[in-house]
Amino acid sequence: MHISGSELKQTIRRGTIAVLAFSLAGCEFQAAITPISWATAPPQPFQSGPVFGTPAPSPVPIAPSPSPPPPTPIPFQGAEDLDCEGPIGGDNQYGYCSIPDSDLYYVWGECAVPCPNGQYPGIEIRTVEDSSEFRDFAWIIGQRDVQLDKRRDSGGWAAIFAAGDVIGGMLAWKAAECIVAGHITGGASCIGLLVTLGVGVGAATKMGADYFTADHELNREHGLNDQARDNFEDLQASP
């Protein structure tokens, strides 16, 4: 049998293809390179900059609100600030009064040591029974009230007499014609004016002396203010 050259080439090419197909079918692909396992990066904190962006502005700090001022202390007015009935004595520093529908008394005085907390700073108010100590305290308060009234009244009258003398003398001096053309006249009107002024000066002087006498009795060492404080300390609050 005669085979041409072209048929021979075609036969060889088919055989080669068949061998390659058989070889590929019998072989299993295995990777020659082991894949690399890459670790996952953790979340990164926010950073400023052109890549990470611009952070939000911080809130504007707000000044704290100022604390409210402490309440203004209430000045004690004595018996006017208490539920009192007679007998009543004293002022807003030392005094006493009877408590209605009871046999007890309110007594009050300035604190010799820091006062306990109370409504009226600097003043302590106690409730006491009738006793010899209370009666001594009430007697001192009565003597103190006399001198307080004397000091108040004499001081006021001294100021009135002094002011009346000055103003009255200035207004009446020219009308009295005590001095005319540089000479003292000594007329009746002038003498009357001088006598009037003298009486006023004398009255003002007497009232001034009474004021200082009363003030001395109150404020001298072991005076009425000291006695009132000492007697107040002797009074113990009733249970």
Instruction: List the domain boundaries for the chain.
Output: 78-234
CB 105 within 8 A of CB 128: yes
What percent of the chain is modeled with pLDDT above 70? 50
Query: Hey, what are 17's tokens?
Result: 């293809």
- The pLDDT, as a whole number, for residue 175 is 46
DSSP codes, 22-79: HHHHH-----SSPPPPPPPPPPPPP--BTTTBPPPPPPPP-PPPPPPPPPPPPPP-GG
Euclidean distance between CA atoms 185 and 225, whole angstroms = 53
Angle at CA of residue 115, ends 67 and 135, nearest 5°: 150
pLDDT at 140 over 80: yes
pLDDT band at 181 (very low <50, low <70, confident <90, very high): very low
> In sequence order, what are the residues at sequence separation of 6 or more whose Cβ sits closer than 8 angstroms to the Cβ of residue 149?
none
- Residue 156: the pLDDT is 77
More confident of the two residues 127 and 170: 127
pLDDT of residue 171: 44
pLDDT in tens, 12-29: 666 666 555 555 555 554
Which 3 state secondary structure label does DSSP give 185? coil
User: In what helix (H) or strand (E) does residue 85 lie, and over which residues does it extend?
Assistant: strand 85-90
**pLDDT tens for each residue of 55-105:** 666 666 676 767 766 667 678 898 999 989 888 999 999 999 999 999 999
Tell which wins on pLDDT, 14 or 150.
150
Q: Give me the DSSP letters along 157-175.
A: HHHHHHHHHHHHHHHHHHH
